[in-house]
A and B are shown apart, each in its own frame.
Chain A
Amino acid sequence: MAMRSKRRTFHRRKVCRFCVDAEMKIDYKDSKTLRYFVTERGKIVPRRISGNCAKHQRVLTLAVKRARQIALLPFTTVHTV
């Protein structure tokens, strides 16, 4: 479907997953789903990369922050002693 641009080899599709699949709820307790939207260091993936729409990105961000509070997601994975 989406064609690859020459310069940006990175993405292909830019649709909001939460808009496409109405079944997909954003819940801070659902760390499995949230993990798709954070990097391995625990940062929230920007929507220019994930393709989320603004509305869902806002909700997602809140959910990730709550998940961090309750230790379901890391704030960071790199600790300097």
Chain B
Amino acid sequence: MRKYETFFILDPDLSDEANAAVDEKLKTVVSSNGGTLLSYASWGKKKLAYPVKKRIRGHYVLMEYAGGPKLVAELERNMRLDERLLKFITVKLEERFDPEKEEARRGAAQAAAETEEVTPEKESFPVVEQEEEQLSAMDEDVDASEEEDES
């Protein structure tokens, strides 16, 4: 068993029911192929850096699971066929999935979340506003392309 994450983009114009249907379908694929779903979280709607299937916005979802390579193949096959999904990327997080370690991490994350009182968006990025003039000069107009979340 390995630990993977799949980060994918859904059509942003889906109805809530359609979204729920996709969620359900993917979760089923994971469980019926010997996998364990570890997390499934929406990252909200974002502007895409370039158009994908004629769409300029997308609904990002992150899913973590444990399973074998067969599961990944099957999951990706399903995603490729599904019109509601614009794009996906799967990354292997751990070569050997260790449920105990996962449990510990989960506990730690939980504790951290409780102390911080969760921000609804995943905007907890470390904002690094230190100097770096040279770069920011280059990056100045690198825009406000993200952010405008309007879920």
The reply to whether A71 and B87 contact each other, CB–CB distance below 8 Å, is yes
Minimum CB–CB distance from A47 to chain B (whole Å) comes to: 12
Q: Is the interface of A mostly helix, strand, loop or mixed?
A: loop
A75 smallest CB distance to B (angstroms): 7
Tell which of B9, B46, B126, B133 touches A33, judged by Cβ atoms closer than 8 Å.
B126
Whether B104 sits at the interface, judged by CB under 8 Å, is no
Bitwise, A52-71 to B at CB < 8 A (1) or not (0) is 00000000000000101111
Chain A, 24-78, CB within 8 A of any chain B CB:
24-25, 28-33, 35-40, 42, 45, 49-50, 66, 68-75
Q: Would B135 and A30 count as touching, CB distance under 8 A?
A: no
Whether B109 is near chain A, meaning CB under 8 Å from some CB there, is no
Which single residue of chain A is at the shortest CB-CB distance from B133? A12
B62 lies within 8 A of A29 (CB): yes
CA distance A20 to B135 in the complex (A): 17
Interface size on A, residues (CB 8 A): 34
Please report the C-alpha to C-alpha distance between residue A25 and residue B125 in the assembled complex, in whole angstroms.
9
B141 touches A50 (CB 8 A): no
Restricting to A1-37, which residues have a CB under 8 Å from any CB of B?
10-13, 17, 21, 23-25, 28-33, 35-37
List residues of chain B with CB under 8 Å of any chain A CB. Answer: 7-9, 43, 46, 48-50, 52, 58, 62, 87-89, 91, 125-128, 130-136, 138-142, 146
A-B CB contact pairs (8 Å), 29 listed: A17-B128, A21-B126, A24-B126, A29-B62, A31-B49, A31-B146, A32-B125, A33-B126, A36-B132, A36-B139, A37-B135, A38-B139, A38-B142, A39-B139, A40-B140, A45-B138, A49-B134, A66-B89, A68-B49, A70-B8, A70-B88, A70-B89, A71-B9, A71-B48, A71-B58, A72-B49, A74-B50, A75-B49, A75-B50
